[in-house]
Structure 1
């Protein structure tokens, strides 16, 4: 290849913005990456992280060849081997496990490292291979499952507003979301609304970058969001501002839900949430008087024991006020429910039904006493950096009888425990199909350059492994373009006219939804056609921290927000982004710091019965008394003490969807000795 070429693609990472990008290639090398200026949502801008993507793909620590472990598990010592050697060993081990223990002893552990429908988790890449083998299924509950379940119960879909329509809103509630760090493209539409007089409120336990820019910040107690929603609606009812026509035509369960609202007067809600009663009442009055109101509630809000119900109850606000009937009104959680690709898990390839293993229960499932998982195959994931109870995971990965294969780009903590490491392509090196979960566009990622070394895409890795194992199922060998055609062969009206040829030529296509988009103006995709309100006593499920904070040996609630410089643990090995992120910090309110002898700049131990991690104290009123915050993302091997906040995150389920509980953990924070050593 010679000369200059501009290649259209899409960011694969776990962010709602799903950016469209343009790669400039000169003489076969990617030399420039920019946001696609023609894309209505990306508008030419990428984030501080993805701006360094080309540098990241060329990093010195990139894994380029298959490797076999030579040292003890956890040592990170490997030798280079050929693909044939790797596939020979893998094939033999998989056959032996299936013969001795059955296919369910194999756990394909897939994460959100790529949201691609070909190479990533959205299309469950590799599922056909695993079904032929009879492996366990994998429940990817780490991200959004509690909220998805709550919205599906209520509305029949997790889909909601088109976030571009926030430009039409007059009151915007950014509820448990920090878009200036995690999805900054929304802010353009918020700014358009503000230019036309919109009022913006950030509801968040932390005064985030976004809260700094809002007109008002309400520092809510973690896990009490549903109670605040009920309190705001209490004011709406007191003002007689409910939309009786919409309630009668498009909802069910209103009378009992009304009783629940009336049982949550402002004064009670103030006690529960920690927000002054005057602030609750003032926002309730704004909500009562302002149409359209748009609510942006993203995934952090549902990572506690009552998370699914919290999202469901917040969603109910738009039905009570009738905001769903107004352009620029409603709730935006995820647009994934509006994506109707033809995703077929091919369960017909299973010889018999198999069990499903839950992502956030990895530590307990790998425990030696359970003895039910003999092979862990990790791809698009770094569980030792991202999953609950990393101490238990580390102990499980150290089992000599556990055969672990990791497909990766870089030598993560999880890679250090692998028996075989397989080099994976990055986004500029393979084809993929994407749909951002914060906008209404499908996007095609065309490979821009050849893969370095011997890296293979996920799809090609499974094709080669199937061939190596002598599998005869024809669908295992479908090409990437054939897989994409199958995904696009949907008869849903939203997909009419969306073809692979068109996507490859144009780079992106808006699904067939109107602009502006009022998805539930005329009803909901449930059998009744109505949204279903929570029943009496089921509209607020207190989280562990809401019930127990301030009591016992661990009185502080720990939340683990997104880091500005990392995306989950992606980019946490990039030298410049690590430099900007600095060492792990824990934000502590001044009153809590004084009571514990904590000082800014000193190392502290954050701990509970499950584990501990070390972080530099930042005494700050950005967190309320009783709340501490430590951003996620650092690789454990890179930080003092060798652990990140997930060391103290317990294995537990949210109320719906078996969601994770990253923001629902009780800890204590104590100063480290002068030498910086933990106990």
Structure 2
């Protein structure tokens, strides 16, 4: 028996991007463990990825190309060959491209985060074809834009410094479920005497283990940040030297926040004035004492109308108190911009120049509406073909009824590359088997730490599965694309993923990275201790001329939700409950839902509801209920609990529809409206009503 250990990396949409060690015995992967030598993984994996062999060898893995034989949505297919699949796809796309290639749309996201298997060969193909481009906004673009306006780049506190902090504010996140290795460092800081404060409408697992939980109303995070600034400035809890040297627009900010008294802030946020004052004082005390005062902001806070402004306002706080001076201070939203990715080398946007026009851009968050639109002068051609990879939009995209209606169009040619027969695959004309992370080569950046990561193929592809890159190579050849870049191997693509000449990459060498598995970027311990922000001014910009030029308020402000009792009282009379749908602990977006052991742990779709809200509707713990608004409805079993604040219901997500009793999930009630900046979805900007199912 031959046993080898293969270095790999977790591909999933999580800040941790763990280093993996895969045990392979006679060509079979028998165990996946965390690399104990990798400083952030430290030998520990989440429950989901520790069972990765269960996913790879799952009895329902798609192993052969298939063609639809039933109605769209039925999920009935017959096996075909790869030659027939590629020939059919090339013929259909070629005919559409002769009329207008912009009628063809890719749809992908973070089913894998690897730079090779996401948009490298796929990007080259769609650029060469002249297809419409996809605006990939569904996760973090609102907060990313707001953060960049303020500090210049998605760079922040190093994960490896967190255990040295004395105050950690976890804002809009539940790291126990979605950022395990950050939580491990938080626990170490807590043992060292740190105070942990969680700001979240829901008393999550993380909030339950914190020293203080501030349960504000959804969509009011920007208001809370303004209230904190009011107290910091009004009580002179400031680092005047840092403000003078490293910020822009303090005088204008001082005027702006005058109206945000603790009382006014409390009324908007649904909390007490005392909570605003105490949080501001505690935060300032830690920072001004030279101790690490860190804010870990996550993506929950930006999935509302004013989500970009929320992230921007919060990003102003560390500069006011000089928290950036300490390596364990400052803020982390994402570390993505730390990595010197060479996107031009990966996806070759220059290939699109042959078409002599800018490509049409379709927002992935409005795919429900866009699939139903006819051709027009404003919209362009009707979408006639869709290639879906690394994504499950029928389950994940907002206003799900419209998404399913669009995918059900008989005149829409849909190809899905997948591991399993997802809700989206059920609507495909052709389904193609994709390799998992254990079966292909890839290279990764991260958004929660600063290590470049290598993924070596541990086993041969199962059945006739192929990497995404190989599918697009075959399709390019079938369509007569003869540019040299379509012949590049996955290793050749990985070799150009990061810029060798960038000072952070340490002379990036793919062959060396493959051998070691990971390499730290050359990043300072405290990135903005002495300023050096990546903004036009080089300072933390309380006032942003870029925002003014973009038609936005150049100063921090509050943008009320589309749907709330204060901003839309008429709608709230009809639908009085706010709803959010954060990730379930055992799922990752819609990944892992089909892994039986993980789904058994989650049980079934559930709705957490406060006792007062439940009692007023004659709903008892364990009842089945209908959650609805004008966009749609879904069913779930109620858990009556004060973990949900009064006026809020919480549906942990994202369930595949086929595993729900009524064939629906929470995105039946979410909206396609977009955020203030970044064109992102507003998943947590939702009002609903809930009623006991027997009376529905």
The two structures have a TM-score, normalised by structure 2, of 0.94
Residues 236 and 287 of structure 1 are in contact (CA less than 8 Å); yes or no, is this contact kept in structure 2? no
Residues 107 and 134 of structure 2 are in contact (CA less than 8 Å); yes or no, is this contact kept in structure 1? yes
Stretches of 4+ moved more than 6 A in 1? none
Residues 163 and 439 of structure 1 are in contact (CA less than 8 Å); yes or no, is this contact kept in structure 2? yes
Q: Which moved more, 1:57-66 or 1:465-474?
A: 465-474
Q: Name the structure 1 match of 2:521.
A: 511
Q: Name the structure 2 match of 1:290.
A: 286
Taking the TM superposition and a 5 Å limit, the aligned residue runs for 1:182-581 are: 182-291=178-287, 292-344=292-344, 345-350=347-352, 351-352=355-356, 353-367=358-372, 369-370=374-375, 372-514=382-524, 516-519=525-528, 521-534=530-543, 538-546=556-564, 547-548=567-568, 551-581=572-602
- Summarize deviations over 1:493-546 as a string: whole Å, max 9, x none: 0012331122111100001113x2333532211221112115577421111234
- Summarize deviations over 1:218-276 as a string: whole Å, max 9, x none: 11111111111121222222331211111111111111111122221111111111111
- Once residues 266 and 467 of structure 1 are traced to their aligned partners in structure 2, the CA distance between those partners, rounded to angstroms, is 64
Q: Which moved more, 1:485-494 or 1:629-638?
A: 485-494
| Partner SS for 2:227 | helix
- Once residues 555 and 182 of structure 2 are traced to their aligned partners in structure 1, the CA distance between those partners, rounded to angstroms, is 34
- Once residues 261 and 189 of structure 1 are traced to their aligned partners in structure 2, the CA distance between those partners, rounded to angstroms, is 34
- Once residues 154 and 65 of structure 1 are traced to their aligned partners in structure 2, the CA distance between those partners, rounded to angstroms, is 49
- Once residues 30 and 82 of structure 2 are traced to their aligned partners in structure 1, the CA distance between those partners, rounded to angstroms, is 29
Residues 256 and 536 of structure 1 are in contact (CA less than 8 Å); yes or no, is this contact kept in structure 2? no
* Cα shift at 1:372: 1.2
Residues 219 and 624 of structure 1 are in contact (CA less than 8 Å); yes or no, is this contact kept in structure 2? yes
Aligned-CA RMSD value? 1.4
- Summarize deviations over 1:639-675 as a string: whole Å, max 9, x none: 011110011001010001001111111110011018x
- Once residues 312 and 120 of structure 2 are traced to their aligned partners in structure 1, the CA distance between those partners, rounded to angstroms, is 27
Q: Name the structure 2 match of 1:670.
A: 691
| Partner SS for 1:61 | coil
* Cα shift at 1:623: 1.0
Residues 41 and 185 of structure 1 are in contact (CA less than 8 Å); yes or no, is this contact kept in structure 2? yes
Gaps of 5+ in 2: 376-380, 544-552
Q: Name the structure 2 match of 1:105.
A: 103
Go from structure 1 to structure 2 and tell me whether the alpha carbon gap of 1:509 and 1:537 turns closer, same or farther (over 3 Å shift): closer
- Once residues 567 and 193 of structure 1 are traced to their aligned partners in structure 2, the CA distance between those partners, rounded to angstroms, is 26
Q: Name the structure 1 match of 2:114.
A: 116
Residues 341 and 490 of structure 1 are in contact (CA less than 8 Å); yes or no, is this contact kept in structure 2? no
- Once residues 369 and 246 of structure 1 are traced to their aligned partners in structure 2, the CA distance between those partners, rounded to angstroms, is 55
- Summarize deviations over 1:116-143 as a string: whole Å, max 9, x none: 00002xx455010111111011111001
Residues 377 and 405 of structure 1 are in contact (CA less than 8 Å); yes or no, is this contact kept in structure 2? yes
- Once residues 28 and 638 of structure 2 are traced to their aligned partners in structure 1, the CA distance between those partners, rounded to angstroms, is 43
- Once residues 47 and 659 of structure 2 are traced to their aligned partners in structure 1, the CA distance between those partners, rounded to angstroms, is 21
* Cα shift at 1:603: 0.6
Residues 155 and 532 of structure 1 are in contact (CA less than 8 Å); yes or no, is this contact kept in structure 2? yes
- Once residues 519 and 82 of structure 1 are traced to their aligned partners in structure 2, the CA distance between those partners, rounded to angstroms, is 55
- Once residues 602 and 528 of structure 2 are traced to their aligned partners in structure 1, the CA distance between those partners, rounded to angstroms, is 39
Residues 326 and 521 of structure 1 are in contact (CA less than 8 Å); yes or no, is this contact kept in structure 2? no
- Once residues 560 and 105 of structure 1 are traced to their aligned partners in structure 2, the CA distance between those partners, rounded to angstroms, is 33
| Partner SS for 1:673 | helix
- Once residues 661 and 14 of structure 2 are traced to their aligned partners in structure 1, the CA distance between those partners, rounded to angstroms, is 28
* Cα shift at 1:368: 5.2
- Once residues 451 and 613 of structure 1 are traced to their aligned partners in structure 2, the CA distance between those partners, rounded to angstroms, is 38
* Cα shift at 1:289: 1.0
Residues 558 and 629 of structure 1 are in contact (CA less than 8 Å); yes or no, is this contact kept in structure 2? yes
How many residue pairs match? The answer is 670
| Partner SS for 1:32 | strand
Residues 108 and 136 of structure 1 are in contact (CA less than 8 Å); yes or no, is this contact kept in structure 2? yes
| Partner SS for 1:494 | coil
Residues 389 and 610 of structure 1 are in contact (CA less than 8 Å); yes or no, is this contact kept in structure 2? yes
Residues 161 and 519 of structure 1 are in contact (CA less than 8 Å); yes or no, is this contact kept in structure 2? no
| Partner SS for 1:334 | coil
Q: Name the structure 1 match of 2:670.
A: 649
* Cα shift at 1:615: 0.5
